[in-house]
Structure 1
Amino acid sequence: MKKMFIAIVTLAMAGTASAALPQLNYQCPGQVQMHSDEGGAVYINGKEAKLKKYSDDFYEAKGAGVTLSISKTGQQYDVSYTSKKGSGICQPSAGASGKSAGAVAKSAPASKASPAETACLKAVSGKTKVPLTQLKVTEVLDSEAGVGVTIQVPGAEAPWSCLSDKKGHVQGAAYTGNE
């Protein structure tokens, strides 16, 4: 258990050091949805987009016939889109909260959740016997070693930590508090 916790903490530190974009959820006109995983992939309408970093404050994501411009201004992210159907400004999805505008804590099951998040939610649900709909992903850290997912379980004093690869193969899930 301690080895697993140390591995997850190391993964978290590695993910934080190389983190680019935070977890963001935006809705754009024309039924265009954007989601980014903490420091990882960007999804347009549920499909992974190609992400290009121009600077620490400006990114461009392309996919599904859409180009998203993602810029950081202070603690907030601004997202705009361009497609064959037009262009416009995107808004943070309903319920956005957190450190920066657009950062969203996702509740399960999330249709836009990455395979790692979905697999970790299922693993924690299986170990705790708490339904998926009551679990909440509070943090996702992506690194070369895998994806670290932190999950809040109702009634638990501390969160659960899960380690998975990007394809959703869970390597372990453990309670971070005292049992």
Structure 2
Amino acid sequence: MRHMVALSALALALQLGVARSQPVSDDTAPAGGIPLVNATCPGKIEVHADKGGPIFVNGREGKLKRFSANYFEARDASSGVVISLSVNPDGTPLVSYTGKGRANGICELH
């Protein structure tokens, strides 16, 4: 079952064009790459990003990695939470998280 979930996540990543083993850049994303986002993730994790970045996790600026023009991750050093932000071709964002003990899920946009 765990392998099926991993394969499903990989298939989704391939569809989004984000399956890479290394980030393209550790620098802040170029202006316009990150949209304005406000989201709440399970476990009371609050996510905020202004257009162009950075991405904040519970009010703290996350270490941003740019994997492509439409996929970013931000890691909160304090909690270890990783926020994944993908931007669909129509410009709508999709936010998910990975936390301690393999906790993960889709975040609700608001």
TM-score by length of 1: 0.41
Paired position in structure 2 for 1:65? 80
Pair 1:88 & 2:105 matched: yes
* Aligned residue-pair number: 77
Q: Pick one of 70, 76, 82 that aligns with 2:92.
A: 76
Structure 2: which 5+ runs fail to align?
1-29
> What root-mean-square deviation, in Å, do the aligned CA atoms of Structure 1 and Structure 2 show?
1.5
- Give runs of ≥4 in structure 1 deviating > 3 Å: none
Deviation of 1:70 (Å): 0.8
Spell out, residue by residue over 1:59-82, the C-alpha distance to the aligned partner (whole angstroms, 9 max, x if none).
011003200111111221111100
Offset from partner CA, 1:30-75 (integer Å, 9 cap, x none):
0001000111211000001011111111101100320011111122
Cα drift, residue 18 of structure 1: 3.0
CA distance in 2, matches of 1:35, 1:89: 15
The whole-number CA distance in structure 2 between the counterparts of 1:40 and 1:69 is 13
Q: Secondary structure at the match of 2:51?
A: coil
> Identity rate of aligned residues, in percent?
39
TM-score using structure 2 length:
0.65
1:53 is aligned to 66
The equivalent of 2:56 in structure 1 is 43
- Bigger RCO (CA 8 Å, 6+ sep): 2
- Whichever of the two has the greater Rg, that structure is 1
